[in-house]
Structure 1
Amino acid sequence: MKHKDLLQRYEELKKRLKSKIFGQDDAIEELINALFHIHHSPINQPFKGLFTFFGPHNSGKVYLATLLEQESEEFQGIKVVNMAEFTDPADQKKLIGSSGALPTFIKAHPQSIVVFKDIEKCDNVIQLALMNYIFASKEESGVDCSNVLFIFTSTLGSSLIKKEDFQRFYKKDPLKAQAKFIEFIAKEKKIIYDIVESAIVPELLSVMVQNYIILFKPLEFDSIVKIAKASFKETIQKSNIEGVDKISLPKNDFIELLVLSFSPYINARRVHKKLPDLIIDLIYQAVIKAKLPIKKIVFEVSDEAKDFFKKVDKKFLENLIKQNRSVHLSWSITTLKNIVTINIQKATLFKLPLYIEPTQKPYVNYSTISFNDIAGQKHVKSHLKEIVRILKQPSIVERFHIPMPKGMLLHGPKGVGKTLLAYAFIKETEFAYVMLTGSDLLDTNLIHAAYQKAKEIAPAIVFLDELDGKDGMIIPYDAISEEIDAISDEEYVFTVATALNIDAIDKNLLASERFDFLIEVPDLDMEARKFFIKKILQKPNDGKIDVEKVARYMSGLSGYEMQRVGKEAALYVIRKNLKVITEEILIEQINNIKYGQKIDKKRIRNLEKDLHKTAYHEAGHAVISYLLLPDIKIEQVTITPRAEALGFVSYTDEFITNISKEELYNDICVALAGRLSKLKKFPQEGEDTGAAQDLEQATWEAYNLVATFGMDESLGYVHVDTLMQNVSKELFNDTIEERVAYWIEKATNDTIELIETHWEKIEKVAATLIEKEMIDGTELKNIMES
């Protein structure tokens, strides 16, 4: 065939392809140019041509290959092989064995197109075997592939292709842009049967580069409208509805609004598949409503709906995705003189359910929780807002020539708001997120899918809740590390994780450039406690509840436990047939949660005597603590028997600070004061088992004073534990024993002296406890200062 005739034939083929596939003119141009080049190429190869089509889902890669076979005279037959079905190396026989699917098809269709759909999804062993098969001679493979066009398709690199700056770069300098793209693809990973490997084996990627690579852009809204218009026309032409003479084609604005109703994720395949059903349904509704022969059905759009569409631009469509919204169309069907009008009366926005893709994990989500919804944690919120600013302004990081941060871990006790803070952080970034929690974190394939999904919608966040696992779960930290390492600046994905126990997480995962920010979320502060109390005060109450006082009692409770206080108080009022919650009821529920339920006094053998003994025991602790440790505020002193103890002294918030030798010694005295006070009042019966925990604490603190903190004059500044672990367990044993006994004896004598001096106050506190069972910090202060 003459050069001129061939050129004309390819030009005509190009026009036919462009008339049937929309939005991919550049890809069609490249394909036709490459086919023309192949026809004149002197290179000797065992196949007609080898193409790789890269592009997002539903961008027309397989469709273009199908149309090429239909419209071109060169090919008679096409086979599309779904490579996701070949994840086991043993599957290669089914594909390229002597009686496999591929040789069987090629023998029957020697002049054909073979499409390997989603080549990255098959096992790498099969990728290599397939490459070798394609490049094998007729003698080696037993099949003549000289007139076969092979096409690989892949969605790898879609996040890069979608970026406008890359598309501009590709138009300006295709060769350099393609090199950048291949470099990007080479870093892509996949997980098959828990094994992390290259998404496309390097040898095959090299072959792709040496042949023809064509990039498919994501379809713009206008292109999808053209597809919808063609689908609409085809549906009307094929429909043969009895009683309808003619159905008019609608104008563009009608089609555009129809397509918009498929938002927020508008893709060509879904529109092409679902639109005919929608059209037929509308026509049948019109026929049923009219109940008479119809001359004509026409489609119209109201002025109000047209005004709505005027707002639609690229930013509007992007916001639909970010805000998880769709467009609802309101219809009217009217009949006049046997002409039925189907009218779009109104278009309105509405919020979709939380999960946009309910049938396929992982889900794409959009947080609705803000920092204003979370009580307390002022310092943590401030820190998180600083990180948000970095993510939203990457130029700040670029100025210092360091890579963008890739992850953040929020760790701290249960119920302090870690998960809520993570949600609020995500909302502040305005990124979509993909979440994995619980058993999801055990599945390496799901972890990989989460990061792939996030890359598709980048910039985005992968949220890993409870990363330290629970109930013996073994989290595949290596797989998470691999995914984070594979993230590039072009497809920016930030990982947010929460954990109770940071020590349970693999230290390699916590390294810089994986989790760059490690943020401790502490126990809830006074502000947070007041927030929960004010929520409780929305329930019926006597109006006399002291918020400050109850907030002090709540110290140490988690958010879950504080919510439980309100519920338990309400249930108590209902059970007892009372009318309102009181301060006393609230404090009782707090004590139940913190220290256990009250014990039935009938279960105490010598009730009166034991209550008196406990009263002097706790009074001794309280008075000596008030004298020696004035900075540690007492919350309450009680002799109400509970599951945890027959009585106790509890404290309000303690501040983290260095402890002096004097304070440590005073701690020992306070621990001993309970038994010593009881012995003074009850010399014969005061020495009982109730002081076991006190003695354990006193002994441990005396040991630490001597062996750990270097505070003993005889032993000096020696850290004995280091010597015992690394040198000898026998070193200083006798000295430690002697000095611990010395400090216990000294503390005992000093405490006895203090008890003698302040016995009147101990008597007064004990008497008040016997009378009331509990006194709070304010009442104790009044007794001490009276």
Structure 2
Amino acid sequence: MVILIMMLLNALVFPEFLDQHIKEVDYGTFLKRVEDGDVSQVQIEGNRIAFLVKNEDEKNNIYVTGLMEDPDLVNRLYKADVKFTKDIPREKSPLQNFIITWILPMALFIGIGQILTRQMRKRMGGPSAMTFGKSNAKIYVQAKTGKTFADVAGQDEAKEALNEIVDFLHNPKKYAEIGAALPKGALLVGPPGTGKTLLARAVAGEANVPFFSISGSEFVEMFVGMGAAKVRDLFKQANEKAPCIVFIDEIDTIGKKRDSGGIGGNDEREQTLNQLLTEMDGFDGKKGVVILAATNRPETLDKALLRPGRFDRRIPVELPDLAGREAILKVHAEKIKMESKIDFNVIARATAGASGAELANIVNEAALRAVRSGRSLVAQEDLEESVEVIIAGYQRKGAVISPKEKNIIAYHEIGHALVAAKQTDSAPVHKITIIPRTSGALGYTMQVEEDERTLMSKEQAFNKIVTFTGGRAAEELIFNTVTSGASNDIEQATRIARAMVTRFGMSENFDMMALETVSNQYLGGDASLICSPETAARIDEEVLSIIKNAHEKAIRILKENQDKLHELTSYLLEKETITGEEFMDILSKDSNIISKDGDIVSKDGVE
């Protein structure tokens, strides 16, 4: 293309630039220079005269003047010994004019566009023009993936549900003989980082079949119709490789609910979805093509995608429980050199609500800490510190905090711990520290449940709020002031109190009435009220009442144990970080006891 452009320029355009050397003069100047002998050559062209001069400085110039009625011109030229001739006026051919005016600019425009498009595609990693409509799905076989169910821990229920698919791919005749057909599609649903993609690859590894992997976003193209073409190509490849597994990650990208009004929808996404629905209806499930998909936003999927015959099997891949977390930690620890006596149960209990990806990150952080400390084996303290790094960030050892503020922070954290320890149905204190963290926390109190809890009673929820208010209560009791250090505590306490009223039915005024809905449950949960403004105002009053009662209870607990509050704070200021065992040793000496209803009772039984 570049060579063609240069040839056209050389043949058609560059000659035109010679016109820049032509200079027009009047006829009298022409005659004078002829008489002076300055003119070397003359050419008469139609109604004009072109001439060259002998002067070296003007040798590259062509002078032009108009042709006059001068019968003696030939004699003058002859006497001045000037070479002269008469020629037919040179005019550009219509073809040349057309090429210069239309073809050449168009060719230049197209050529530059092709070059820019190619450069942009290279930078963006997109397909070339010859690959539009190709699915670009990554194809793995067992030798490359090497993943089996042994590599997946903490998801026993999901593995059990997927085992049927593996068995079908191994023994399709067993199902065909009885007339059973395997579900064409299975949807893996769960929070981010729980191992949905790993599970899909493990199914392919167990079944020893090809594994097609593609993200939902790869179907969305700039040009309408390209996404649908990619879907057709993907299923064509899958049918050729059957039996196989096709895995579509983040299927909500193309599987969102279609706009019922027909206005404001994305035509490309809808065409892609329609093609996916058609392809799933068209292929024969008995061939052994299994479609797996993953999403963490199942509520946004189109209903047609979830009907029987398509993604009719929904497999939850939830956050692991205590046993699952311990198993995941052990799986990732197999690749790390560790000391022989590592208690993974302690780490699992301290990481309630963590996903498999977060647990893998914790193990890796522990290995990095061991390297930084100059050790060749990961110790228990490395794992415990890595949990704190994930929760609160790295230690800010160089942070400068005044003694006055450090004193307030210490009382604040001991306030949390003391209130928690003096209540029933509260998780034991595991660690207290006043070392600032990179997350912005100036200190924190870590509580670790002894057992896994799946339900939370009204009393437990209220006691959590009391614990959250314990830090602010200590500030008020000791310093007769409040600080901004309780901002996160206030947010957490308000969140639990509001959930008690609007979602958990733990309010006498509203009983079991649903006042709030939660969307995107796997992505943090966005709550929205479903009640009138008047009811919303009553909800605010109820939430405020719960928090006030919890705050008052926290102050009452701290007043009853004010001596222990001072003693524990002094010890924390000295050590900066204390364990739950150290905390309980000091607290258990001559301490009050707590009744079952959470009220403070002295040892002699008098309140």
Cα offset for 1:494? Answer: 1.1
Q: Distance in 2 between the 1:363 and 1:703 partners?
A: 46
Q: Does 1:444 align with 2:228?
A: yes
Q: Does 1:589 align with 2:392?
A: no
Cα offset for 1:676? Answer: 0.4
Q: Which moved more, 1:453-462 or 1:523-532?
A: 523-532
Cα–Cα, structure 1 residues 437 and 584, in superposed 2: closer, same or farther, change >3 Å?
A: same
The one-letter code matched in structure 2 to 1:659 is M
Q: Percent identity?
A: 31
Indicate conservation of the 8 Å contact 2:399/2:436, yes or no: no
Q: Deviations over 1:226-260 (max 9, x none)?
A: xxxxxxxxxxxxxxxxxxxxxxxxxxxxxxxxxxx
Cα–Cα, structure 1 residues 370 and 719, in superposed 2: closer, same or farther, change >3 Å?
A: closer
Indicate conservation of the 8 Å contact 1:601/1:641, yes or no: no
| 2:330 equivalent in structure 1 | 531
The one-letter code matched in structure 2 to 1:462 is V
| 1:749 equivalent in structure 2 | 552
Summarize the alignment of residues 178-193 of structure 1 with structure 2, pairs less than 5 Å apart. none
Q: Does 1:518 align with 2:302?
A: no
Q: Does 1:618 align with 2:413?
A: yes
| 1:659 equivalent in structure 2 | 456
Q: Distance in 1 between the 2:507 and 2:411 partners?
A: 32
The one-letter code matched in structure 1 to 2:551 is T
Cα–Cα, structure 1 residues 704 and 536, in superposed 2: closer, same or farther, change >3 Å?
A: same
Q: Distance in 2 between the 1:633 and 1:477 partners?
A: 51
Equivalent residue pairs, number? 422
The one-letter code matched in structure 1 to 2:153 is A
| 1:413 equivalent in structure 2 | 191
Q: Deviations over 1:503-533 (max 9, x none)?
A: 4543432333211222222334233343156
Indicate conservation of the 8 Å contact 2:195/2:357, yes or no: no
Match of 1:461, SS state, is strand
| 2:445 equivalent in structure 1 | 649
Could you say what the CA RMSD is over the residues aligned between the two structures, in angstroms?
A: 3.8
Match of 2:251, SS state, is coil
Cα offset for 1:689? Answer: 0.8
Indicate conservation of the 8 Å contact 2:516/2:529, yes or no: yes
Q: Distance in 1 between the 2:155 and 2:273 partners?
A: 29
Q: Distance in 2 between the 1:763 and 1:386 partners?
A: 61
Cα–Cα, structure 1 residues 631 and 690, in superposed 2: closer, same or farther, change >3 Å?
A: closer
Q: 2:534 aligns with which of 721, 730, 741?
A: 730
Cα–Cα, structure 1 residues 742 and 587, in superposed 2: closer, same or farther, change >3 Å?
A: closer
Cα–Cα, structure 1 residues 690 and 529, in superposed 2: closer, same or farther, change >3 Å?
A: same
Indicate conservation of the 8 Å contact 2:216/2:248, yes or no: no
Summarize the alignment of residues 357-396 of structure 1 with structure 2, pairs less than 5 Å apart. 361-362=136-137, 364-367=139-142, 368-390=146-168, 392=170
Q: Distance in 1 between the 2:495 and 2:228 partners?
A: 46
Indicate conservation of the 8 Å contact 2:342/2:380, yes or no: yes
| 1:630 equivalent in structure 2 | 425
Higher relative contact order (CA 8 A, sep 6+): 2
Cα offset for 1:582? Answer: 3.7
The one-letter code matched in structure 2 to 1:594 is I
The one-letter code matched in structure 2 to 1:422 is A
Indicate conservation of the 8 Å contact 2:337/2:378, yes or no: no
Match of 1:495, SS state, is strand
Q: 1:493 aligns with which of 274, 281, 289?
A: 289
Indicate conservation of the 8 Å contact 2:210/2:244, yes or no: yes
The one-letter code matched in structure 2 to 1:618 is E
Cα offset for 1:453? Answer: 1.6
| 1:673 equivalent in structure 2 | 470
Indicate conservation of the 8 Å contact 1:435/1:450, yes or no: no
Cα–Cα, structure 1 residues 601 and 390, in superposed 2: closer, same or farther, change >3 Å?
A: same
Summarize the alignment of residues 265-304 of structure 1 with structure 2, pairs less than 5 Å apart. none
Q: Deviations over 1:454-493 (max 9, x none)?
A: 21232322122333459x9986333322221112245342
Cα offset for 1:407? Answer: 1.0
Q: Deviations over 1:331-360 (max 9, x none)?
A: xxxxxxxxxxxxxxxxxxxxxxxxxxxx99
Summarize the alignment of residues 414-433 of structure 1 with structure 2, pairs less than 5 Å apart. 414-433=192-211
Q: Distance in 2 between the 1:709 and 1:646 partners?
A: 32
Cα offset for 1:725? Answer: 6.2
Summarize the alignment of residues 651-730 of structure 1 with structure 2, pairs less than 5 Å apart. 651-652=447-448, 655=452, 657-683=454-480, 685=481, 687-721=482-516, 728-730=532-534
Structure with higher Rg: it is 2
Q: Deviations over 1:737-760 (max 9, x none)?
A: 543343333222222222223344
Q: Distance in 2 between the 1:400 and 1:620 partners?
A: 67
Indicate conservation of the 8 Å contact 1:624/1:673, yes or no: yes
| 1:127 equivalent in structure 2 | none
Cα–Cα, structure 1 residues 363 and 597, in superposed 2: closer, same or farther, change >3 Å?
A: closer
Q: Distance in 1 between the 2:243 and 2:306 partners?
A: 22
Indicate conservation of the 8 Å contact 1:478/1:509, yes or no: no
Indicate conservation of the 8 Å contact 1:362/1:453, yes or no: no
Cα offset for 1:727? Answer: 6.6
Indicate conservation of the 8 Å contact 1:552/1:635, yes or no: no
Q: Distance in 2 between the 1:699 and 1:484 partners?
A: 47
Q: Distance in 1 between the 2:140 and 2:494 partners?
A: 54
List alignment gaps of at least 5 residues for structure 1: 1-191, 195-358
The one-letter code matched in structure 2 to 1:535 is E
Q: Distance in 1 between the 2:193 and 2:330 partners?
A: 15
Cα offset for 1:675? Answer: 0.6
| 1:13 equivalent in structure 2 | none
| 1:254 equivalent in structure 2 | none
List alignment gaps of at least 5 residues for structure 2: 1-130, 221-226, 257-265, 518-527, 590-607
Indicate conservation of the 8 Å contact 1:529/1:551, yes or no: no
Summarize the alignment of residues 145-224 of structure 1 with structure 2, pairs less than 5 Å apart. none
Match of 1:754, SS state, is helix
Match of 1:598, SS state, is coil
Q: Distance in 1 between the 2:511 and 2:153 partners?
A: 47
Match of 2:532, SS state, is coil
Q: Distance in 2 between the 1:648 and 1:669 partners?
A: 16
Cα offset for 1:640? Answer: 1.9
Q: Distance in 2 between the 1:518 and 1:582 partners?
A: 40
The one-letter code matched in structure 2 to 1:407 is G
Q: Distance in 1 between the 2:360 and 2:529 partners?
A: 45
Q: Distance in 2 between the 1:390 and 1:633 partners?
A: 48
Tell me the TM-score normalised to structure 1 length.
Answer: 0.47
Cα–Cα, structure 1 residues 770 and 437, in superposed 2: closer, same or farther, change >3 Å?
A: same
The one-letter code matched in structure 1 to 2:198 is L
Q: Deviations over 1:251-289 (max 9, x none)?
A: xxxxxxxxxxxxxxxxxxxxxxxxxxxxxxxxxxxxxxx
Cα offset for 1:445? Answer: 2.2
Cα offset for 1:702? Answer: 3.3
Indicate conservation of the 8 Å contact 1:438/1:469, yes or no: yes
Match of 1:628, SS state, is coil
The one-letter code matched in structure 1 to 2:234 is A
Cα offset for 1:635? Answer: 4.3
Tell me the TM-score normalised to structure 2 length.
Answer: 0.60
Q: Distance in 2 between the 1:428 and 1:578 partners?
A: 38
Q: Distance in 1 between the 2:494 and 2:139 partners?
A: 56
Match of 1:384, SS state, is helix
Q: Deviations over 1:617-662 (max 9, x none)?
A: 2222223223435364544332221122112233447856343322
Indicate conservation of the 8 Å contact 1:464/1:498, yes or no: yes
Summarize the alignment of residues 391-402 of structure 1 with structure 2, pairs less than 5 Å apart. 392=170
